[in-house]
A and B are shown apart, each in its own frame.
Chain A
Amino acid sequence: MVPTEYYVLLSTVLFTIGVIGVLTRRSALVVFMSVELMLNSANLALVAFSRQWNHVDGQILTFFVITVAAAEVAVGLALLVGIFRTRRTTNVDEVNTMRG
């Protein structure tokens, strides 16, 4: 059996990649994908811990996370389509009219 630590380590790596992606990429779509990576790294950790503790709490939480992520992306893509219609861009730096 693969020890839990390995999974946790992998999930930490994925989480970090996700965070870096959100902070450095400028296309809103890629930012969404990076956020998905963050959520899925949490899912991996939850499932691994769930196996370690030998009960299903973590696995159930994983289903909720998947559902929530889908709902969030649905709203996010709708917004993105709206922004693209008016601005012809999905670059988050160009959609920045407010400062201060």
Chain B
Amino acid sequence: MEFQIPQTDFTTIGPPLVLSVWATALLLIDLFIANKRTTAILALVGLAAGAAVALPFYGQTPRVSFEGMALLDDTAIAIDWILTLVTAITILFAMDYLKRQAIEMGEFYPVLLFTTSAMMMMAHGRNLIVLFISLEWLSIGLYILAGFAYPRIRSQEAAMKYLLYGAFAAGFLIYGTALVYGVTGTVDMATIADQLRANQAMRTSPLLLVGLGLLLIGFGYKISMVPFHMWTPDVYEGSPTPVSAYMSAATKAAGFAALLRVVQIAFPVDVLPTWQIIVAILAALTMVIGNIAAVAQSNIKRMLAYSSIAHAGFILCALVAIGEPGAVQSYLYYILAYALTNLGAFAVVIALEQAGEERFDIADLAGIGWRQPLLGAAMAVFMLSLAGVPPLAGFFAKWLVFQVAYQAGFWWLALIGLLSSVVSAFYYLRIIVNMYMRERSEPVPSFTTAPLLLGVGVAALLVVVQGFLTNPVLTLVGQTVAAGR
């Protein structure tokens, strides 16, 4: 008997592969490093290497390998780069934060890299097995990171809640996968679409619809879509703040990347339109409930958590309209704008948080705009962008998303989005008012260090630049769409 070793193209998983290998090495190297800042810088080097590996393949024809399990196209590369950016800024945020909180351990950075690697795999996967494993892989990393401030009870509680909800969601995801596999006889996403296209009975099979629903629940937990969002505020509040920032930006980006793959490759709208209306209703609920709940929050971290729920709803608007021309572009554009903005917004909380003491109340922001001019200005940019004020990235993102939703015939969804984003302006502007127009006799001390300011500065700059260069950015991700099909 003759064995043939299958041709494997490792470049299809280049960036996540580099990150995983680097993280494994870093875990060992870290044992010999006394100054953990060096570990952080080495982690940044690994990130840069991972991002660079994908560079020659950008704009090329998509490549598929590992028996059709892994895919490298411009969408995957775009997501890789967004994740690289988010992780790099997170590392900058974490450097001094961990030290001040007395939880500085070198393992933080390798675990962060492993998690990022898993998130990248979500965008590279072309098979439900790969999606399931990557989702679990990133979740396990995040459980550890959420509980990283070990003796602190809130951090433990956050990790435990995240784990219980996450494991519950994993159950739904895998059972959904099992049902889809049972009906179509394959876990390869492209083959699932082919089977459904060819076979009328499969398309109307109740088992398939239940399976798809369960998949949606599984991913819905990760992107905190209403009604699967209950864990979000608690987990963001209790986790170490850089981890909350990372979760809100990177996990969302990865979850949305996987959802995009599922609906684009496995269940295209022209084959199975059923999910569209369900996702539309959930998107409307997510926007409304997220924004209204955010108004009632006095804790900044919880407010940002609800704001991240609301923005998941806005991104879902583009997912609903995914069959329209330009929908994938606006989807990716929104993910980039949202990831940078929400990530940056957590920086001000990090600056306020002292060792052992938690200052998360909106009133604690009083006067910080004058005492920390750079941080205050950046926070103002983030809040205006999240509220959707032109010419920042957040405005164009919302505009594009509502436009495609309208084109797809979901005018009511665009209308609900518009109205709820008017509501959202209230709580975003309240932050700015507190920063600049309130004073306190005893202002809360704030700490800014060079890495933190660098991270915030980069994020704020990119938010402004992305807004001004909307068209070039769209063309960049636009090639993505043409090639990804």
Contacts and interface: CB of A to CB of B under 8 A. Distances in A.
A72 B234 CA distance: 20
Contacts of B297: 100
Contacts of A15: 171, 175
A19 to B, nearest CB: 8
Interface in A12-45: 15, 18-19, 22, 28, 31-32, 35, 38-39, 41-42, 45
Interface string B134-153: 00110110011001001101
Interface stretch (B154-162, B334-342, B432-440): B154-162
A42 B178 contact: yes
Nearest to A8: B182
Contact of B157 (A39, A58, A71, A96): A96
Contact of B140 (A48, A75, A95): A75
Contacts of A53: 185
A68 interface: yes
Contacts of A39: 170-171, 174
B116 interface: no
A6 interface: no
Contact of A38 (B159, B175, B182): B175
B156 A82 contact: yes
A60 interface: yes
A37 to B, nearest CB: 9
A46 B159 contact: no
A45 B178 contact: yes
Interface in A53-100: 53, 55, 57-58, 60-61, 64-65, 68, 71-72, 75-76, 79-80, 82-83, 86-87, 92, 95-98, 100
Which label, helix, strand, loop or mixed, suits the secondary structure of the B interface? helix
Which label, helix, strand, loop or mixed, suits the secondary structure of the A interface? helix
B160 A80 contact: yes
Interface in B232-278: 233-234, 237-238
A8 B187 CA distance: 18
Contact of A46 (B147, B164, B181): B181
A61 B299 contact: no
A26 B45 CA distance: 44
Contact of A75 (B143, B238, B296): B143
B167 interface: yes
Contacts of A38: 168, 171-172, 174-175
Interface in B297-349: 297, 299, 302
A38 B214 CA distance: 12
Contacts of A76: 143, 160, 163, 167
A82 B168 CA distance: 21
Interface in B31-83: none
Contacts of B403: none
User: Which residue, of A18, A32, A98, has the highest number of chain B Cβ atoms within 10 A?
Assistant: A98
A64 B175 contact: no
B402 interface: no
Interface string B441-475: 00000000000000000000000000000000000
B110 to A, nearest CB: 15
User: Which residue, of A28, A48, A60, A65, has the highest number of chain B Cβ atoms within 10 A?
Assistant: A65
Nearest to A99: B234
B237 A98 contact: yes
A96 B235 CA distance: 11
B237 A61 contact: no
A70 B133 CA distance: 13
A9 to B, nearest CB: 12
Given A15-B171, A42-B175, A72-B167, A97 B140 contact: no
B175 A45 contact: yes
Contacts of A68: 132-133, 136-137, 170
Given A72-B163, A92-B164, 10 more contacts: A8-B182, A11-B178, A15-B175, A58-B181, A61-B177, A68-B132, A76-B163, A79-B156, A82-B156, A95-B160
27 contacts: A8-B182, A11-B175, A22-B164, A38-B168, A38-B175, A39-B174, A42-B175, A46-B181, A57-B129, A57-B181, A58-B187, A64-B132, A64-B133, A68-B136, A68-B137, A71-B140, A72-B170, A79-B159, A79-B163, A82-B147, A83-B156, A87-B153, A95-B157, A95-B160, A97-B153, A97-B154, A98-B157
Interface of A: 4, 8, 11, 15, 18-19, 22, 28, 31-32, 35, 38-39, 41-42, 45-46, 48-49, 52-53, 55, 57-58, 60-61, 64-65, 68, 71-72, 75-76, 79-80, 82-83, 86-87, 92, 95-98, 100
The 10 closest A-B pairs by CB, nearest first: A38-B171, A49-B182, A45-B178, A42-B174, A53-B185, A35-B167, A68-B136, A42-B175, A98-B234, A42-B178
